[in-house]
Amino acid sequence: MSLPPSFPQTFYRTLNRLAKEAGINRATFALKALRFYAEALKKRKSPVTQALGADAETYTEQARKVSQNWWARLTAEEKTARAKKAIEARWRKKKKK
């Protein structure tokens, strides 16, 4: 039993073309696209984005640059210690559940 098409032919052509370009089947592509779109909507509706309005992208970009700069200044030993601390925290959180 097949369902009647609910989208125009152009949708399926575009879906096929983009899935081939990505090198995955069209069902996987469609699901990933839906998840990506849902995540983008979630970010747009976040309290920070709503509070900052048009400046939200600038804030996000600046925060990313500050974070990259901070991590670049850490030594390898400091990075390793922080990674171990984060791993231990995740394990403690999982054990509590």
- Residue 26 CA, chain-centre distance (Å), reads 20
Q: Residue 37 corresponds to which tokens in the numbers above?
A: 């779109």
* Number of domains the chain contains: 2
Q: Please tell me whether residues 38 and 68 are part of one structural domain.
A: no
57 with 94, same domain: the answer is: yes
Encoding tokens for residue 25? 């089947």
Mark whether 25 and 8 lie in a shared domain.
yes
Q: What angle do CA 9, 12, 16 make, to 5 degrees?
A: 140
Cα–Cα distance measured from residue 94 to residue 97, given in angstroms and rounded to the nearest whole number: 5
- Report whether pLDDT(5) > 70: no
CA pair distance 26, 20, nearest whole angstrom: 8
The range of the structural domain enclosing residue 4 comes to 1-45
Structure tokens at 72: 């670049």
- The structure's pTM equals 0.50
Residues 41, 58, single domain; the answer is no
- Give pLDDT tens digits for 66-86: 999 999 999 999 999 999 999
Q: What is the mean pLDDT of residues 11-24?
A: 94
**Same-domain check for residues 38 and 61:** no
Q: What is the largest CA-CA distance in the chain?
A: 61
* Residue 86 pLDDT: 93
